[in-house]
Structure 1
Amino acid sequence: QPYGRGCTAPLGSVILPSSITKGLSPEEQRQANRVQFTFYKKSMLFQDPTLNSEMLVSPVLGSSVANLSITNLKEKIQFTIRNTNYSGSCVFWDFTENGGAGAWNNWGCHVVSFTAEDTTCSCSHLTSFAVLLDFSREDQLDQKQAQILTFITYIGCGVSAVFLSITILTYLSFEKLLQDIPAKILVQLCISLLGLNLVFLMNGWLALYKVDGLCISTAFFLHYFLLTSFTWAGLEALHMYLSIVRVFTAHLSNYMMKFSIMGWGIPLIVPVIIIAVDKNNYGLVSYGNYSDGTTDDFCWLRDDIAFYVGVVAYFLLMFTLCLVIFIVVLVQLARIKRQNPQNQSPNQGVLTDLRRISGLIILLGLTWGFALFAWGPLYLPFVYLFCIFNSLQGFFIFVFHCAVRENVQRQWRTHLCCGRLRLPENSEWSRTATYNKNTTSFTMMSSSTAHLACSSSSVISETNSSGKTLKTHRF
């Protein structure tokens, strides 16, 4: 701590963490018995041509441990510098900028506290959505790409949280929208995704406190909501299969209750087992390898085996289930359309099919599949696709299941316009709602296989066009 003549306070101080030598080789640890501090009262050696109206208003403080390059520290280095004027931001000298000439960089650094005399700085980073399914578990992103992905992730998660909330409130507020099984499954999926987005948004902030119990709890709930999102996507696929292919769904007793137990109960088993084996499987994980020596602190799965079994294997199981059922459903829809082509006009049929297929892809969480291709030279583009589509998944759900749904639009107009645009009694939605209210079951009977197929086609077509589910039996 150098002192100036006549000064009663130090011009600067550095606090090095006790873990600074962890991760060094035995030879490097023998060299690490010498720590050097350098204090530059003038900044003549640190000229940055990229500075415009900004100027350096404090001395330059540096430290080194036996001239070794030490990065990925779990505990941050904290430094305090005496101001010669007001300090607007904290920066570090990045030797990789300007073709190796160096430049000042404020990435990841922020002001902890400042007074008229002193400024205390600390450096930390946020984390992108890609860490949730980073199969390699290695740092492959440079500082610039990590910053861009962080902005995409946090903006996307914030937008998704808003639209997921709107979707949930819409379906819970309008009773007519929540009468069929797909709508109830959709609400459960939205609740799961909303929990995932909120926990993820708070994760980086909670990780700064470095409290073991808090970080373990955060990682536990993040893992749980991630698995529930996978599970409800799989259950949506299962329901599609039962209703379209098997034509036998909602008449089962306690159908939605069984789905709820599976959707919220099965995912809970995995994190409970992981934390029961060793609670330290969850905790603070460091990502990134930046030129200022800092890393991304994130509360997540620390053990690789727990990650691959509890996340990757679970994801691959649900992804395979969704993909197989998606293909089977497409084949069934194509077969039904060939058997009953006069049921709807070609243009409207194509538009309905595309809308239904696109909504099904997003709703079943197939966008998570981008993580499967994030390897080698394709790592960066697929990580971008993964972060963009998954962080905006809630927005896509709102578009396909609220904004473009005619029955949802009618409910909005009816209630928000004080009844001026109420549904006409002879409208398709009104007829369907009345029919479902007064009908307890719908039985299809046929003396031939062709007649059974034709009857099934009519039921499915009416279900898709009205947005309602008819209770059916097969004999």
Structure 2
Amino acid sequence: MKTSYFILIFICIPATLRTNDNLPNCKDALRDCLRQEVVWTRCFEDRITICIPKARKPIPNFYRWSVNSSNKAEESTDSGHRVHIPAHALQRSKRNDSNSTDYVHITMAVLNSSLFKLGPVRGSRSGEVLGQSVLAVRVGDHSVRDLDQPVRITFRNTNVTERGTCVFWKDSENKNGEGDWSSGGCNTTLIHGEFVCSCNHLSFFAVLVNSKLSVDPVNAANLGYISYIGSLFSVVFTTVTLVMYTCLRKGRFEQSISIHVQLTGALLFLHLSYLLSEWWVWHEADGAEGRVCLTFGLMLHWALLSTFTWLAIEGFHLYMLLVRVFNIYVRKYLLKLSLVGWGIPTATVMACRFSGVYGIHSFHMMGANNGSSTDICWISSATDSHGVVVSYVTVSGYLGLVFLFNTAILGVVVVKLWGQRGKGRMWKDWATVLGLSCVLGVPWGLAFCTYGPLSLPGLYLFSIFNCFQGVFLFLWFLALSRKGRPEHSSVKDSSSQKMETNFN
């Protein structure tokens, strides 16, 4: 009897080991599914159901436990997600297993939203995935849907926004690995600063947030037309300005005009890069992401930084002309300004290039009942935290510094004009102040007015003033060219004349 018992043990143990060896390792489930030519989300759901955690240490972002199907289940993750599954859902997961035990396995996995590829045709839901975090929930061996008592999933509100929508991943019918986010069967509630998703099924869950803009489709189309038309006009007029400067440079031009021309060149690059980026995304709608889009994104970022830098140089030069007017001489002044104006943007974008932040960026504009998104080759809006940091530092932060500096310089100019002309004649100088405001890029500060209750008027004003900035600079260049002629030299301010002589 003992001999038969030991023989049975030696037969059963190796068989059990062989069975476990054939089961996939939970640690490799995601990697294996991504390598296969199948819809990876369905493969992953099946794998995490039957896989075995073979590692001694806990698998990061992977959770599994067993509960009695007659009780509710609650669990939380290290990322701050909490899941509440009612007993009704647990019992539904084993409805076809009459011989199974009363216990069911619950599996959860936290995934990065960059794994989920949106198809070219977007649904009515658009936005950024909250925290770039997607929660996969699986109960038992069967799909669970059409529940009478919903499953509750809580997401920590890391973006501190009150606008969010609970969604789940819906694979495309083409079975090409693409899909879209859908809110069907899910309700969204904001409780104590956290998003609570109540859904009647189990799937891959996330929260889409849109803390940027909220524009209805009609205004979005109008803003698009203003941007395209304004950029086209700016390209034409900045080109004319550069041609005029090239043809007339034999005459004695002031250093100020040379700086204006370099700012005009930066604006020409900016509007050309914008139009090319938009055209490329429209032309290659199904596969815009690539080296060409990366290059256009880098060019657009470089042109924008160059424009901001030359706007700051305009303010610095105006400060030198009107404030420090006594015995100032700067050797190779224009050359040094050029090194700063083109060198800082070049060094910045080269550093960003190695960080891999360029790619497709989606601007989400949502109306009351539907929504849309506009893509452009720019700093990628995919789940890459570096892109968010780069955008805030090199665009919003840099613009804020330039705007504050140039606004202060413009204030000094107004005070000086007020003191020289007197209050009664100030109205005659408003044209000069408005021209200087354009040259100093003060309208760019409207970018900070595109949030809150005045966001829509701010967007229209921002688009009009900045998209047509090339036209305004052309007019300013004409005015300065006429004043630069000898017969008009008498209208110049004496302090300006002295400073221009020292610099030339």
The TM-score by the shorter chain falls in which range?
0.5 to 0.7
Superposition deviation, residue 68 in structure 1: 6.5
Name whichever structure is richer in strand by fraction.
2
**Where do 1:17-416 residues align within 5 Å?**
19=117, 26=136, 138-175=212-249, 179-207=253-281, 208=284, 209-247=287-325, 251-276=329-354, 278-279=355-356, 281-288=357-364, 295-302=373-380, 303-337=387-421, 350-351=427-428, 353-402=429-478, 404=479, 407=482
CA distance in 1, matches of 2:171, 2:213: 17
AA aligned opposite 2:418: A
**Number of positions where the alignment pairs a residue of Structure 1 with one of Structure 2:** 310
Whether 1:460 aligns to 2:491 is no
Query: 1:173–1:331: structure 2 CA closer, same or farther, 3 Å change rule?
Result: same
Structure 1 residue 355 displacement after superposition: 2.5
Partner-residue secondary structure (3-state), 1:252: coil
Deviation of 1:230 (Å): 0.8
Secondary structure class of the residue paired with 1:295? strand
Q: Is the 8 A contact 2:116 2:178 kept in 1?
A: no
Look up the match of 1:86: none
CA change 1:393–1:249 in 2 (3 A) is farther
Change in CA separation of 1:20 and 1:271 when aligned onto 2, cut-off 3 Å: closer
Kindly name which structure, 1 or 2, has the bigger radius of gyration based on alpha carbons.
2
Q: Which residue of 2 aligns with 1:40?
A: none
* Counterpart contact for 1:171–1:178, Cα < 8 Å: no
1:173 and 1:200 map into 2 onto residues whose CA distance is 28
Letter in 2 for 1:307: S
3-state SS, counterpart of residue 388 of structure 1: helix
Cα pair distance change 1:226/1:66, threshold 3 Å: closer
Q: SS of the residue aligned with 2:377?
A: strand
Structure 1 residue 184, shift from structure 2 partner: 0.3
Distance 1:147 1:331, change over 3 A: same
Q: Which has the higher contact order (CA 8 A, sep 6+)?
A: 1
Identical positions, percent: 29
- The one-character-per-residue Cα deviations of 1:333-392 (angstroms, maximum 9, x if unpaired) are 333346xx9xxxx76x753x2222111100111110111111111111101111111100
Counterparts of 1:158 and 1:212 in 2: how far apart (Å)?
Answer: 26
Shift in Å, 1:217: 1.2
Cα distance change, pair 293–69 in 1 and its aligned pair in 2 (3 A): farther
What is the rounded CA distance, in whole Å, between the counterparts of 1:381 and 1:69 in structure 2?
A: 38
Deviation at 1:407?
Answer: 1.6
How far apart are the structure 1 equivalents of 2:399 and 2:256? 22
AA in 2 matched with 1:327: G
Cα 1:249–1:355 change in 2 (3 A) is: farther
Structure 2 CA distance, aligned partners of 1:272 and 1:472? 33
- 5+ residue gaps, structure 1, are 1-16, 34-64, 78-135, 412-426, 433-456
Tell me, which stretches of 5 or more residues in structure 2 are unaligned? Answer: 1-114, 120-127, 146-166, 180-209, 381-386
| Deviation at residue 268 of structure 1 after TM alignment | 1.9
| Counterpart Cα distance in 1 of 2:364 and 2:393 | 23
- Deviation of 1:67 after TM superposition, in Å, equals 11
Deviations 1:284-343 (A, max 9, x none): 1222356787632211112211110111111111111101111122223333346xx9xx
Residue 298 of structure 1 aligns to a residue whose secondary structure is strand
Aligned to 2:501: 470
Name the amino acid aligned to 1:148.
N
SS in structure 2 of the partner of residue 26 of structure 1: strand
The secondary structure found in structure 1 opposite 2:501 is: coil
- Call closer, same or farther: CA 1:272–1:69 in 2, change over 3 Å: same
Alpha-carbon displacement from aligned partner over 1:29-72 (angstroms, at most 9, x marks no partner): 99799xxxxxxxxxxxxxxxxxxxxxxxxxxxxxxx999799xx
Secondary structure, aligned partner of 1:296: strand
Q: Which residue of 2 aligns with 1:428?
A: 487
Flag the 1:178–1:210 CA change in 2: closer, same or farther, 3 A: farther
